[in-house]
Every structure is written in C-alpha cells, then in structure tokens.
Structure 1
C-alpha cells in the first residue's frame, strides 16, 4: 500500500476484498500503514505550487480541514512570493503543527514543481493558469490528488491536455477539485436543483455578468527581463492569464453551462480597450460582450468589464417558460410577472472556498464518490476561451473549431532569460488583438 495516498480508500477496500476472497487475507494481517489508512489515521501531506494570494488562501483552507493534514512543500517562480506566503501561513497556522517545510522543501523557479509534487499526497495548483495543464499532468502522472484553481488552461491545446489527463485521474481513482466554488456553494446548489427540476420551465435565455473596476497593476522594475516582468504582471498577458473573460468571468460562464447542463455550440461578440490602454496593461481587453449559442437554440449573453466608475455587477439571470432565476442581490426564483416564488436565505451558509477543501480531504480520508471536476473545469475554460476568440476576431466561432485549434499561446522555453510569446515595440506597447484582423484559429 502506497503511503502517499495515491490509492484512495475505496480502491484500497475494493482490492482488499478481492485479495481476501482469494487468499483469506484479514485486515489484521495488513501492514500497519495500510490498516491505518483504512481507519483514516494517516497524515495527508500537501504541497502548494504557486504562492500568490490564491495559493496562500487555498493552502490555508487545506490546513483548516478536520483531517490530519500537513503542508510539506512549496514552490513558486519567485522566492519573495514564496517567503511571503510562508510567513502568512505561519502567522495563521504556525501553532497548529500543520506546517513542516524545511528549507530544502522550498522550491523556486520553473522546474521546482516536480520536486514539490513528489513530496505530497495532495497538490494545490495555484500558479497563473497558463501553467495549469503542465502541472496537472505532472501531479496525475505521479498519482496525486489535486486541487487546482480555475481556469485550467489559456488555450485550446491546454484544454485538450487537461481533458486527456482528467481521464487518467479517474482511472487512477484520484480526486480532482477545480476552484469553480459555486458548485460547492449552498445557495447555487439549491438554485440549480430547482432549475433542473423545471421550476422555471425550459430556459429560453439569460445573462451573466462580471463587471468591476479591475485588478492590480505591477509596474516594470529596473533590471527585469521581459519574461520576469510578464510573470510578475501576469494578469495582462493572454498566455499567462487568458484575459479577464477567462480568469474571472469563467465563474459566471460556468454557471450558464451548469444551468443549461450543456456547453455552447457557437459564440460571437465584441470587445476592446477603452481606458486600460497603457504599456503596463499588456495586451488584454478591458471589456467583452459575447452571445453564447446552445444546441437547443438558447442564447445566453455574457458581459465582463474592467473599468472604474461604471456599473459593477457579478451575477447570473436565466429566463424560462415558467419563471426567472437570478443571483443578483439574492438567490431567487420569480414567476414571469416578478412575484417571488422562492429565495435562498444564505446568512448562515459556510464559505464555499472552505467547503471545496473540506469535501476534497474528507473524500480522500474516508472514501465516497470520486470528486472529478476536471472535465467540467476544462469545458467551462474552453467556453470562456471560445468567447475570447469571438471578441478578439470579431467573427462567429464554433465550439468544434475552437476546441480543435492548434494555436498555442505558450512559450517554447520556460526561463527568465527566454523570450515570451509577445514582446513590446519600441514605445513599450504590446500588440493588441484587432477585431476583423486577428486570427484565433
């Protein structure tokens, strides 16, 4: 029995039953570590790959579960981010005995993830999303359970890789949770159950939103290579971030897919840069508007914006033949005249970010239905990429053409002295997608 928990409890019990039937093997005759694992008493070792804000938060949530968990390894491209993450986690969890990371288990650079993954039973993948397919493949090949943040790729080749590895994870009985936390949020679970039970009838249309003022900017520092600058300012480069329609708005797009219980067949839309146009804003748009067309003829409109001083809204709304469902302000179902039929009182709901980790570690320790979020995570990632392809090109793009695209955004070499896929001109400005001209397939 592998002490690294690469075989979960269900698989172990199943294999033990077969062995017992053939040779009369009893639990009392098993090695100590195997029987301890059946009883759920073995420490679950965790590594975090990507030590920014989300990595720090996810690692903290992992150390807040009920199971015996210990953080044993960390990795980041930059030492200062690793040290900040370690200090923050130590301040919060240092007295819990759940942090055991000697200096030799702190890995820095592009290749350190391999060493960190090798030390753990569960791997937390929270780097910029461009690296997700590479790290996910390494973790699953090594037989590790995975929590990985959304999105799970930034281009179609990356999505196809995640779909391929997701199948391997299932074959190995490895649990995979993706940070689309609304799937673990009580209010959304209650709403979707009612939608899928037909309480608003057949969905005929909808709108999903992520409109906000935007995120941080990290200025260029003297002496930085172009690769280091882009890695530090990763949100503004499509190969690393995927644009904000993917990095943030994926949450709402995923909810549309969840409500429809399907994925779009085509998208068309528009977008551009109105106010976020400087050299410190890389190449991404500051607004997108997309029509997602589903196979039954339903069209759901998607809008996301990063512009200060405008309407802020992060919500979803769906119209059916019998009523409406919305998460705007409160989670509610109304009839077609606007009369409330049901609303979710969520004041006492637990944090869905914590629930994700609670479910993951409980399943690893005690068994139960395999958590297999990777396929939906990849397909909702692809949906947002499909929307980006539509806005960048200004043309309709089909799901099939988008998913089968061989256009990779990733660099050929990962090193701080290597050239990224996109570089600035003499004025320090990066080439920006131009609808009507930019090729996306």
Structure 2
C-alpha cells in the first residue's frame, strides 16, 4: 500500500518533534467513545489513512462486513494520485486480488467530498478532526506508531494493519497507545486476520486445552517469491518520496519482509505459546534481491519458556519450493495449519470446519464490538508479535543473539527519518552481520 504525493507540500515538512507536537495539538481526546454507538442504530463514519492496495481492500471489507449503517467519510494519504486511484476503485468497483473479492462500486456507502480528502504529512491529523468515528490505518508500517498514537489521542476506534511498527522505539509507542485505548474504551483490531479465522480459532482453543499435550517444538514458515527494486529514482523526485512510494524495499518503511509479512506466522506461535519468546538468535542475507536495503531470506530460532524452540523461516526467492504454514509438536500430538486448512493428529485428532473470509470477519468483529459497546483491543498483542519479528531481524542483521526483554525495553533502535518532509534521505547501507552494530 503506497501513499500519494503532493509536491506543493515539498517545503512544508515537519521535523519528528514538530510532527508529534502537531499531533497532540490538533486532535481532541474523547473518552469512552465506544459507548456512543452502543444502540447500533446510528451511522458510523469511517476514515481511511493510507490509500494503497491494502487500505483500499480493507475499506471494501469493512463496508461489506455488516448490514448496519457505515459510510466512508474521509480519506488521507501522502500522495494525491494514490488517493484518487483508491477513491475511483472504491466508487467504481474492482476485480479480485489475493486479499479481496471482486466488488461492484460502493458509491452508496461513500460520502467523501473534496474537503474531506486530505494529502500530505499532516493528512492523518486533518482526517482525525473531520468527524470520523473509526479509522483504518494502512500507511507503510514505519508510519504506524505515530498514526495509532494520534488516533487513540483523538478517541477513534482503530483497525490497524500489521505490522505494528518497524523498530523497538515504535513498538513502545504502540504499546503505550494501546493501553491508553483500553482506558478510553476504544476498539482496536489488527490486520492479523488469522486470529479471526474459524479453523485457527478452533485449533488454538484445543491446543490451549491440552489436545496435543505440552508443546515441545514448532516451525513457522513464509517461504515464497518476491521482487527487486529495479527501476531508478527519477532525478526530480526526492529521496523521501522515492522511498515511501517504494516502501516495501526500505527497512525504515516496511521493517523488512520478516516483519511486514512473516509476522503473520510468528503471531501464530505467540498465540500458541500464550506469550513472547525469551531468547532470539537469527541469520539470513540478501542473495537475489536488488535495490533498496532489505534482505531476501531469514532463519530465526525463538526460545520460549521451558526451553521450547521454534524455528522461523522466511524467504523471497522465485522458482523455489514455497511453504506458508505453521507446525506445532506436542507430547500427545501435532498440529498443521495454514491459511486455508489445518488439523490435529495424535491422541485427540481434529479437523476444523471451513472458515469464512477472515479479511471480512476481522472487520465484522471490529464493527460488532463498537456497536455493542464491548471493546476488544488487540494492540498489545500485535505489538508483541511484531516485536518478536523485529528482534529476529535485529539478530540476523547484526549476528548477535539477544534476550527478548532487552530488545523490547532497552534497545535504542529507532529507524524514523530525522524529518518528515520531501527532501534528501540517505539510504541506510544493507546490513552486514558482524559489522552492523546492535543498538
């Protein structure tokens, strides 16, 4: 999901400190917001922050998830062309892709006049002040902590795409904001859609009830294909715009593919183990990927309490055997599970029913909780799963093993740019184990 560019804002950049001060000054804190629509009869006004492919898909799923009144009220992005593309697609309809079904135009559920289309580095804050009740956060992950913090401060219910952040500093911001959201009674749902998928829920329920005995080991995989950034930056385009428009290939915007994508599978282990790992040791490299500064393969060992070791493996190499799944080994049985099927083998065999579309279900659960005035909050949960992925990347990049507690609480790593403006932004060098420092 890319954002859009507005060259007229090229000279209106905000420093990181100014960005945070501006957020605090322009949003209004609203408490117990979930109670406002408990009766389930009033129209909910939805805002989209980040108008790329995933954000656009998330809006379609939110609007299709319920028969109760909900309307897209405002849209925000860094780039105007991306916002316009998203608006047209939502209005006119689009073909299916991996994360959404084909849909006809949703014009009857849209009320986004020109004055509620916001562009630029302050577009998030403007949207939050536009009268929305709930927001979808789908900008590149490097922006997620600041947008989530601002949305909670403004008293908005939040659906935020995974991952929650790209560095420990961002994770700490997300955790603090998630706890504030709980105090305010806000609903927070994350884009880890497997948590809302029937066959995952039913299998995990049985794992936690002892169906496979004590967990002794596990493996999680996202081995698939991936691309390279082969095109060159236009001479007239700033470094900032180039990196945000090509956000998947830069660590500060995406977190690397272990964080942006493999977090799904790592989250399942976090779920199965009912908590984070204690120790992390990783490796990996960059064999075929070109452009940007992210790697194309990782292997990480996560050690959980009791000496349980989980192997995590992810890869972006075309023409190779793919595997995207989770496998859990217990003293009484084993689990296999992926996005479409799963089973338990052993003393207590089980095969779950088919799942409804989880991309729609997560929004249905979010909206239902808002309507019922019974908030659910997945903020800390997705932050901790993301932190495990970040720690895996940090270990692999530096060649250093680390404790979870150190990475979460003491690491000083902050990948944020010095200023949020269209201008120079040197690309960090590709990490080299044994040379890249652990901070």
What corresponds to 2:32 in structure 1?
Answer: 7
Q: Tell me the number of residue pairs that the alignment of Structure 1 and Structure 2 aligns.
A: 396
Aligned counterpart for 2:351 among listed residues 335, 343, 346 = 343
Q: Contact (CA 8 Å) 1:8, 1:365: kept in 2 or not?
A: no
Q: Contact (CA 8 Å) 2:300, 2:311: kept in 1 or not?
A: yes
What corresponds to 1:59 in structure 2?
Answer: 59
1:176 matched to 2:159? The reply is: no
CA 317–101 in structure 1, closer or farther in 2 if over 3 Å, else same: same
Aligned counterpart for 1:224 among listed residues 224, 237, 248 = 237
- Cα displacement (A) at 1:95: 5.4
After superposition, the C-alpha distances for 1:372-415 in whole angstroms (9 at most, x for unaligned) are 10001110010000100111011211112211211210012101
Tell me, what secondary structure is at the counterpart of 1:296?
A: helix
Tell me, what secondary structure is at the counterpart of 2:431?
A: coil
What corresponds to 2:314 in structure 1?
Answer: 304
What corresponds to 1:19 in structure 2?
Answer: none
RMSD value, Cα: 1.8
Q: Contact (CA 8 Å) 1:48, 1:126: kept in 2 or not?
A: yes
After the TM superposition, which residues 198-213 of structure 1 pair with which residues of structure 2 at under 5 Å, given as runs? 198-213=210-225
Aligned counterpart for 1:101 among listed residues 105, 112, 125 = 112
Distance in 1, matches of 2:438 and 2:222, equals 23
Could you say which structure has the greater relative contact order, defined with CA pairs below 8 angstroms and 6 or more residues apart? Answer: 2
Point out where structure 1 has 5 or more consecutive residues left out of the alignment.
Answer: 13-36, 424-429
Tell me, what secondary structure is at the counterpart of 2:324?
A: strand
1:76 matched to 2:77? The reply is: yes
Distance in 2, matches of 1:94 and 1:304, equals 37
- Cα displacement (A) at 1:316: 0.2
- From the CA coordinates, give the structure whose radius of gyration is larger: 1
After the TM superposition, which residues 41-440 of structure 1 pair with which residues of structure 2 at under 5 Å, given as runs? 41-64=41-64, 65-92=66-93, 94=105, 97-119=108-130, 120-215=132-227, 217=229, 219-222=231-234, 223-276=236-289, 278=290, 280=291, 282-328=292-338, 330-335=341-346, 341-346=349-354, 349-368=355-374, 370-403=375-408, 404-417=410-423, 419-420=424-425, 422-423=426-427, 431-440=429-438
CA 95–73 in structure 1, closer or farther in 2 if over 3 Å, else same: closer
Q: Contact (CA 8 Å) 1:220, 1:229: kept in 2 or not?
A: no
CA 95–408 in structure 1, closer or farther in 2 if over 3 Å, else same: closer
Q: Contact (CA 8 Å) 1:269, 1:391: kept in 2 or not?
A: yes
Tell me, what secondary structure is at the counterpart of 1:57?
A: helix
Distance in 1, matches of 2:379 and 2:419, equals 26
After superposition, the C-alpha distances for 1:122-164 in whole angstroms (9 at most, x for unaligned) are 0100000010010001101010000000001100010001111
- Cα displacement (A) at 1:67: 1.8
Q: Contact (CA 8 Å) 1:393, 1:436: kept in 2 or not?
A: yes
CA 94–6 in structure 1, closer or farther in 2 if over 3 Å, else same: farther
Distance in 2, matches of 1:395 and 1:170, equals 35
Q: Contact (CA 8 Å) 2:30, 2:184: kept in 1 or not?
A: no
Tell me, what secondary structure is at the counterpart of 1:342?
A: coil
Point out where structure 2 has 5 or more consecutive residues left out of the alignment.
Answer: 1-28, 94-103
Distance in 2, matches of 1:343 and 1:217, equals 42
Q: Contact (CA 8 Å) 1:67, 1:365: kept in 2 or not?
A: no
Q: Contact (CA 8 Å) 1:283, 1:431: kept in 2 or not?
A: yes
Report the TM-score, using the length of structure 1 for normalisation: 0.86
Distance in 1, matches of 2:56 and 2:191, equals 14
Distance in 1, matches of 2:351 and 2:229, equals 38
CA 311–194 in structure 1, closer or farther in 2 if over 3 Å, else same: same
